[in-house]
Amino acid sequence: MTDVINPATEQVVATVAATSAAETDAAIERAHRALPAWRAVAPGDRARLLRRFADAVDADVENLAALEVANSGHTIGNARWEAGNVRDVLHYYAAAPERLFGRQIPVPGGVNITFAEPLGVVGVIVPWNFPMPIAGWGFAPALAAGNTVVLKPAELTPMTAIRLGELAREAGIPDGVFQVLPGKGSVVGQRFVDNPLVRKVVFTGSTEVGRQIMAGCAAQVKRVTLELGGKNANVVFADADLEAAAASAPYGVFDNAGQDCCARSRILVQRTVFDRFLELLEPAVHGVVVGDPSDEKTEMGPLISASHRASVQSYVDDTVDVAIRGGAPAGPGFWFPPTVILPRTPTDRAVVEEVFGPVVTVQAFDAEADAVALANDTEYGLSGSIWTRDVGRAMRVARGVEAGNLSVNSHSSVRYWTPFGGVKQSGLGRELGPDALDSFTETKNVFIATEEG
């Protein structure tokens, strides 16, 4: 049994039974047995079931949001958006079953056609920082493509995933098609990797664990999608709207208390406007409302756990130059103030390592080429922002920065209509958008001879 802790109060909100290795294998076997009937469901009927699932989520948004506030410490506004994102992603992929097109390829001597076939059982491993949406990004396209899904939520944040499993059953998703298995990664997640009936693993989490999963899946030539760490740059050029860039910068990194692989945790500012940018940044940081996540006015909640708070604190010791520090509540809860650091060297820990908390560094650069070099000076390549009024510069820098997702004069990273994923040590494959379906299907080629004799 695992106690689920409210990170804002440190109180136990639920106790959840952990799934054993044997129970995991039994669930995988059920998913395998359910596969033939699920893939045989007529495309229109599968689409209708996914829409019913989306409608069930929509009717439960407030309950799901309240669960996330208590379980994860997310602000109520963010939690509502996250539940709504699950609904929207289900609706988006509900259109997929009737549009899983193959191709007719011209060949001599006959007709050649292709089919997009489901892979089989898909194991989805979800992190604790965004439990609801990241779960949906995995299970919605997988189910739409005709696969069955076993989903493991993070040990710290299982509550909304368990509820989503209940809503799926209430909506009519058949038994065995979508199962939620709370438990340890070393037990449940490892069985996803080792059990040969699982044909793909979708993992979001640390790069270290992602490498282990990839190595384990390689033994069976098992497919993987990996969405891993990030150390993203927010590049501000002198010609940018500095007021807008500074006002938005805190929300590009402190959203979800910085517990976001897309957080713009390195702000790179052109030297000629560096001091002015810091002047504008200070009131913006102090303006971030940190407090009770159930309060509608709160913009940043607590960190997920005491151990994670200690990890974040290790990046802000006596050797660090803190330029700006925001406020945070006293008393119970895993609170940490929004913090801006001026690094002493380009190799400071806070510059090169993923802090995964409300800590951001600010560095100066001179020319456009320097900005690109600094942005790329990381093992990661997930996301980032570019602030400039020059469209040509925006395009040049966007093409030069090694990242899977970039935004200009914005901090947007994830939109369910468009592909999402990283390069370098930030992962493999793409989630969301039309591209996701390719990673949950296998192309089957069929040639039919038509010549006589």
**φ/ψ bin of 414: left (φ > 0), alpha (ψ from -120 to 50), beta (otherwise):** beta
d(CA 241, CA 14): 47
Return the bridge partners of 363, or none.
Answer: 268
What tokens were used for 76? 């109520």
Closest CA to 228 of 259, 258, 207: 207
Residue 227 known to be catalytic: yes
243 is catalytic: no
Please give the Cα distance from 2 to 16 (Å, whole number): 5
In eight-state DSSP terms, residue 188 is I
**Which residue of the set 68, 82, 227, 299 is catalytic?**
227
Pick left, alpha or beta for residue 360 (phi over 0 → left; psi -120 to 50 → alpha; otherwise beta): beta
| Residue found under tokens 């406007």 | 273
The one-letter code for the residue type at 161 is: A
Contact 180, 164 (CB under 8 A): yes
- State how far the Cα of 200 lies from the Cα of 213, in Å rounded to an integer: 11
Q: State the catalytic residue, choosing from 68, 82, 217, 261.
A: 261
Per DSSP, the three-state class of 169 is helix
Contact between 197 and 119 (Cβ < 8 Å): no
- The angle at the Cα of 290, spanning 284 to 291, to the nearest 5 degrees, equals 160
The two three-digit tokens of residue 380, written as one number: 């990661």
* DSSP codes joined into one string, 60-113: THHHHHHHHHHHH---HHHHHHHHHHHHHHHHHHHTSGGG----EEEETTEEEE
Strand locations in 6-147, DSSP E? 12-16, 104-107, 110-118, 121-125
Residue 318 has a CB neighbour count (10 Å cut-off) of: 4
As to burial, measured by CB atoms within 10 angstroms (0-12 exposed, 13-18 middle, 19+ buried), residue 367 is exposed
Reduced to 3 states, what is the DSSP secondary structure of residue 273?
helix
The structure tokens listed for 389 are 């009024």
* H or E element that contains 357: none
| CA 98 centroid distance within chain | 27
Catalytic residues: 227, 261
